[in-house]
Amino acid sequence: MAELKECVFIDGIRTPNARAHAEKGWLRETRPDELLTTIYTALFERNNKIKPEDVDLLIVGAANLSGMQNDIARLAWLASGLPESVPSQSVSNQCPSGMSAAMDGARSIMTGENDIVIAAGAEDMEKVGMGANIDFPPRFFERYSPFEIPMGNTAEKVAEQYDVSMEDMNNFAIHSHMNAKAARDDGKFKNEIIPVMGKEEDGTEFLVDRDQWIRDILDPEKMKAMKTPFKEDGRVTAATSSPLTAGAAALLMVSREKADELGLSYSYKYSFGVQAGNDPTVMGMGPLFSVKKLFEKTGLTADDIGPIEINEAFASQSLACIRELGLDNDNAPFKRVNVWGGAMALGHPLGQSGARIMVTLLNILKTDFPDARYGMATLCGGFGNSNAVLIEKVA
Ligand SMILES: CC(C)(COP(=O)(O)OP(=O)(O)OC[C@H]1O[C@@H](n2cnc3c(N)ncnc32)[C@H](O)[C@@H]1OP(=O)(O)O)[C@@H](O)C(=O)NCCC(=O)NCCS
């Protein structure tokens, strides 16, 4: 076998994340395939040394590959008028789908099978509802209680099991919004967000160039009083959950040899990635297992990592994982976790988020942690699948 090649990141972009809401969502009239068209167009404009026909493989992750998202990789690419000769693959392992796309793409470059790969993630949770069209195996529900599988219920169970209080979750959510607002106001998302035409709630058309869910003003008293939709007298509220969201994101990854041949510039490469499975009734604890596995296999510890992106599906699960893994302080504000905010503020379009947090991590590394050798991104997924990846500065 030939030696492994290096896979470098040439670019990473995304659409703004909008509420997936039939009346209030800014991108309510845009289909997920159209979001991908915006992304592909921008990617080729920004990187004009690469032509669409040069792409060796396109991989797109979506949690729910049905309806408008059925084989979204192939159908959106062709609908975008892009070359039939580029092979594509739609992948799903729920929320980590976009990250799995990037991991598969990077590995195919490292083995020498491909030189130029686009890995993306896309989801519109209003047009293709979470869990829509699932026909669960009856034997699955002999093994697990149907009351313990819905995502919000797993978040409540984690809060109880790991003793995460509503107060700590609200505090985390407030900091997530504060970080996201500060990053937005400082223009830090400018390099990654590709503006898309959308509509205000009143129907006025406008160019959406920012994430819809970030709250500029938070009222801790109101948050304390919010109802707990997943459990009577529970701890998890809409404020401490990621909202239903629509968005797309993509990474352009190239072998280092090819990048040098084309004169492309790069600073970071894919270093390592793992997946882990865990109990679906506490699916949010997935990063505990994938990050532990990543540390065991690489010999690294939390101290070796600069910025960390952990997807905030719910405050309870991300906070419990941060604590169990000793990634940062026990409570927000954090020094290196989700420094530009997380999904509670930025949104979580399921299959997009794994790619989105890698895109954001690359920008955080460049702007806020230029001396860090490593950055790490991780997320949990419905039914107990978790991914973690390591991004490394190119020597
Ligand atoms: C929590 C959840 C059920 C709430 O859904 P919902 O009740 O339909 O409504 P919304 O998300 O639109 O929010 C409810 C209200 O709370 C408000 N709200 C949310 N956060 C708030 C905060 N920090 N302070 C004050 N109000 C807040 C919203 O603004 C909204 O009111 P509005 O429509 O008037 O703006 C839904 O967002 C959800 O299921 N989230 C989890 C998604 C999920 O499982 N993802 C997968 C993870 S693995």
Distance CA 289, CA 85 (A): 39
Distance CA 123, CA 227 (A): 27
Mutational pocket test of ligand 1: of 64, 93, 242, the residue with most ligand atoms within 8 Å of the beta carbon? 242
pLDDT at 170: 98
Q: What is the DSSP string of 206-269?
A: EEE-S-SS--S---HHHHHT---TTSTT-S--STTBPPPEEEEEEEEEEEHHHHHHHT----EE
Span from the CA of 85 to the centroid of ligand 1 (angstroms): 42
Span from the CA of 376 to the centroid of ligand 1 (angstroms): 28
Distance CA 349, CA 355 (A): 10
pLDDT at 116: 99
pLDDT at 2: 73
User: Could you tell me if the CB of 222 is within 6 A of ligand 1?
Assistant: yes
Is 175 noted as a catalytic residue in this protein?
A: no
**How is the chain split into domains, by residue range?**
145-191+271-390
Pick the CATH number of 145-191+271-390 from 3.40.190.170, 3.40.47.10, 3.30.470.20, 3.30.390.50: 3.40.47.10
Nearest CA to 120 among 141, 103, 138, 137? 103
Report how far apart the first and last C-alpha atoms of the chain are (Å, whole number).
Answer: 24
Is 321 noted as a catalytic residue in this protein?
A: no
For the segment 352-389, what is each residue's pLDDT rounded down to a tens digit? 999 999 999 999 999 999 999 999 999 999 999 999 99
Report the chain's mean pLDDT, rounded to a whole number. 98
Given 7, 175, 177, 380, the catalytic residue? 380
For the segment 309-320, what is each residue's pLDDT rounded down to a tens digit? 999 999 999 999
The answer to whether 345 touches 243, Cβ cutoff 8 Å, is no
Instruction: Determine the atom of ligand 1 nearest the C-alpha atom of 152.
Output: 44
- Tell me what percent of the residues of the chain surpass a pLDDT of 70: 100
The backbone torsions φ and ψ at residue 102, rounded to the nearest 5 degrees and listed phi first, read -65, -40
* 339 pLDDT higher than 70: yes
User: Could you tell me if the CB of 221 is within 6 A of ligand 1?
Assistant: no
User: Could you tell me if the CB of 61 is within 6 A of ligand 1?
Assistant: no
Distance CA 220, CA 301 (A): 35
* 1 pLDDT higher than 90: no
User: Could you tell me if the CB of 300 is within 6 A of ligand 1?
Assistant: no
For the segment 99-128, what is each residue's pLDDT rounded down to a tens digit? 999 999 999 999 999 999 999 999 999 999
User: Could you tell me if the CB of 386 is within 6 A of ligand 1?
Assistant: no
Model confidence band, residue 17 (pLDDT cutoffs 50, 70, 90): very high
Residue with CA at minimum distance from ligand 1 atom 16: 238
CA atoms within 13 A on the CB side of 312: 31
For the segment 139-196, what is each residue's pLDDT rounded down to a tens digit? 999 999 999 999 999 999 999 999 999 999 999 999 999 999 999 999 999 999 999 9
For the segment 267-294, what is each residue's pLDDT rounded down to a tens digit? 999 999 999 999 999 999 999 999 999 9
User: Could you tell me if the CB of 79 is within 6 A of ligand 1?
Assistant: no
Instruction: Determine the atom of ligand 1 nearest the C-alpha atom of 150.
Output: 44
User: Could you tell me if the CB of 382 is within 6 A of ligand 1?
Assistant: yes
CA atoms within 13 A on the CB side of 107: 11
Given 95, 175, 177, 321, the catalytic residue? 95
